[in-house]
Amino acid sequence: MDYRSWSLEEQVAQLFMLGYSGEKPNVITRRFLERGLGGLIFFRDNFDSLQPLNAPAIHELLAGLSAAVPAHLPRPLLGIDQEGGQVERLPHTVFPTALTPLAVAMAPQPEALARDMYGIMAAHLRQLGFTLDFFPTLDVNLNPKNPIIGVRSFGNNPETVWRLGKTALQEFEKAGVVTVGKHFPGHGNGTVDSHLDLPTLIFTEEELKPFQQAIDAGLPAMLVAHGYYPALQTTPEERALPSSASPAVIQGLLRERCGFEGVLITDDMCMGAITQHRSPVEAALASLRAGVDILLYKQSTEDEWAVYQATLEAFRSEDLPMSQLYQSLERITRLKARLSVQTPPPFNPMAFTPEACRMTADGIALRGIGLLSGERERLPINPDTALLLVHPDRRKLGNYAFDVPTSDELDAVIRQAGFSQISSIIYPTHCPFSASDLLQSVEFEPQAICMIGFNAWKQADQTELYTKLRNTFPKAPIILVSAGMPDSPDILPNPDLHLSLCSYRPASVRALAQILRHGLPALPAIAGAQACPPVSNLAGQGSSGPGGSQL
């Protein structure tokens, strides 16, 4: 690809990867595409608004957007955040994955599950027309109270993170989908969500290991975090910059020490870590000056167009050197050339029917439930048992609320599995609640209790509810199911059985119902704490970087 023959407008457009709201790209997105936009990133609302929602419509959308770029320029990268579980941009009705990375890591046979799940994920993405996935998450989740990583990581052990991350890389490479490792140089000890503000992070060699191993294995693209790393950014100039604009992080650590030669992409430049501290133009130019290849934005508005115009002017005036532009274009076009020689697989709409997706997803989800404590012989539960279900309000459950209009609630799923005597307590996770008030809705004396905890370390009311259940119904065994991070015995103590779900997608809920009814599969259980220890509520347990807030 002879990028030197392109106009400056076309060259600079390659440095941008944009999203947009709704089903159709807006005027600004179209304007960028006409200039040869480098890439598009897709989010949930791009697909939820498609009516009828089906895989052929998604395939047609991607093909049309790719064709909107002038024919003499390379096709745009078509990217998505499809991690599995908590971060899934494609609705479950047209995509068959449900497990978070942590659920995979805590499963009885994690490597075999990772190979199968990520092979399916990559093949389906490529069939739909996607060419890039912002995955795998290579962060080592050293702080179990991390507000941004958590179940998105393969755990707190660098070797586990790399072992499963490598499997994902291999499967995506087979399918012809570009992988983007994230969030360099490690977001695993954070206490502040970078979507909201700039976190101060502790750089550790342990967190660097999976990134270095991925680079050594040929990782094609990397996403750099928005953070401040005092151990790396030591000069007054560096201390005023996020890591995504830090020469010390990008040049000194990533390019020189780690030897990364692939494409470097910023995390979303619309995040609070950036917007709370710098203007869009100032932030973009600082990142490009530090050596970033692609600026990522979740939107395409007049602000992004102004950044594009300012970037053009910076190269025209040599405020940014043309040699740097050519270095980025060399890396970007090399990556796109790899994609251009690969023949996309034929699109098979039958692989994306709701029935086919459900069957695939259910098979994967059944393999993703781990035994944390207790005797597996406590399952199955007799279907005539008077069963009390205690679970979070999914409508207020962040990334899982999307599934509410197209899937059943837990009590309906449990009834479908064959249980006849069910009473439910639904508790909110977004506000305080009274455990005593909730218990008044119980319709009978339960013979067994299944409580789904969701990051109970964040909410003392969950602990109170659990304690009242134990005291009010002392004869009923409690099956605790951790749908977020594994709940610590310090917070939800002494369950009769503790299962790791680490996801609340519909397939995971259906898998739980099947296990309650039929028992755990005949596979060796694992010590879940090896993948990631339960969250403790002991004071000082969560790590906090200098200047960070202690949760």
Give Cα separations from 275 to 34, 214, 244, 279 (angstroms): 27, 30, 13, 6
Strand partners, 386: 421
| CA dihedral (269, 275, 277, 279) positive or negative | positive
Catalytic, 267? Answer yes
Burial status of residue 173 (CB atoms within 10 A of its CB: 0-12, 13-18, 19 or more) = middle
- Candidate list 45, 59, 195, 362, residue with the active-site label: 195
Q: Are strands 16-18 and 39-42 parallel, antiparallel or unpaired?
A: parallel
- Beta carbons within 10 angstroms of residue 47's beta carbon: 22
CA distance 232 to 221: 22
Which token pair is 125? 């993405």
Q: Are strands 132-133 and 77-80 parallel, antiparallel or unpaired?
A: parallel
- Report cis status (omega within 30 of 0) of the bond before 52: yes
Q: Using the 8-state DSSP alphabet, how is residue 91 labeled?
A: -
Strand order in the sheet with 497-500: 370-374, 497-500, 478-482, 448-453, 386-392, 421-427
- Beta carbons within 10 angstroms of residue 190's beta carbon: 29
- Candidate list 116, 267, 268, 303, residue with the active-site label: 267
Distance of CA 332 to the CA centre of its chain: 24
Catalytic, 498? Answer no
CA distance 535 to 267: 27
Identify whether the C-beta of residue 140 lies closer than 8 Å to the C-beta of residue 188. yes
Burial 376-408 (b: 16+ CB within 10 A, else e): eeebbbeeebbbbbbbbbbeebeebebbeeebb
Active centre residues (catalytic): 195, 267
